[in-house]
Amino acid sequence: MEDRTSTIEIAGKKYKLLLTTAAVKAISRKFGGLENVEEELKKDYAEAIDSVCWLISTLANQYIYWHNTQHRDDKHEDLTPEMVENLTLPFEIIDCKEAIADCFNKGMSRNVKSEEEVNLKPKKAQAAVQTG
């Protein structure tokens, strides 16, 4: 899971961003799909800031949710768009946009393994599968 995250820093605290199925669904509802996000961020500056803050909180909360399910004794608090907006400086939004793009790329990429990397089944197991 860690290789699928991007990291940002807000007010001295690091947050991991994770593109989950739930995040894709929420982004699709808000923007009409992942492919429309870049265009949305080119709109009016105030609208773009709102969108970046919403995206950061949505993606960070996906990782927080995953963390909280794995570490029930060390729960992290959700990040709201308002928190992102109030705890970032304008120049940091550019870094946030880059982290969002990186998160999208990592979340949507597939890990393709070469035939040498794949643990092939023994021949007896392959024969049983073919005849069974």
**pTM for the complete prediction?**
0.78
* For the chain, percent of residues with pLDDT exceeding 90: 50
Say what percent of the chain tops pLDDT 70: 81
pLDDT at residue number 119: 53
- Confidence band of 131 (pLDDT split at 50, 70, 90): very low
Nearest partner of 19 among 57, 67, 62, judged by Cα: 62
pLDDT at residue 116, rounded to an integer: 54
Q: For position 132, what pLDDT does the model report? A: 46
Predicted confidence (pLDDT) per residue in 71-125, tens digit: 999 999 999 999 999 999 988 887 788 889 889 889 887 655 545 554 554 454 4
Element (H, E) at 49: helix 45-70
Query: Exposed, middle or buried by CB within 10 Å (0-12, 13-18, 19+), for 92?
Result: middle
Tell me the DSSP string of 67-127: HHHH-TTSPPPP--HHHHHHH--TTHHHHHHHHHHHHHHHHH------TTTS-PPPHHHHH
Give the model's pLDDT for residue 43.
80
**pLDDT band with cut points at 50, 70 and 90 for residue 7:** very high
CA-to-CA separations, 77 to 53, 67, 68, 105, in angstroms, rounded: 16, 11, 9, 26
In this prediction, residue 84 carries a pLDDT of 95
Domain boundaries, the chain: 2-111
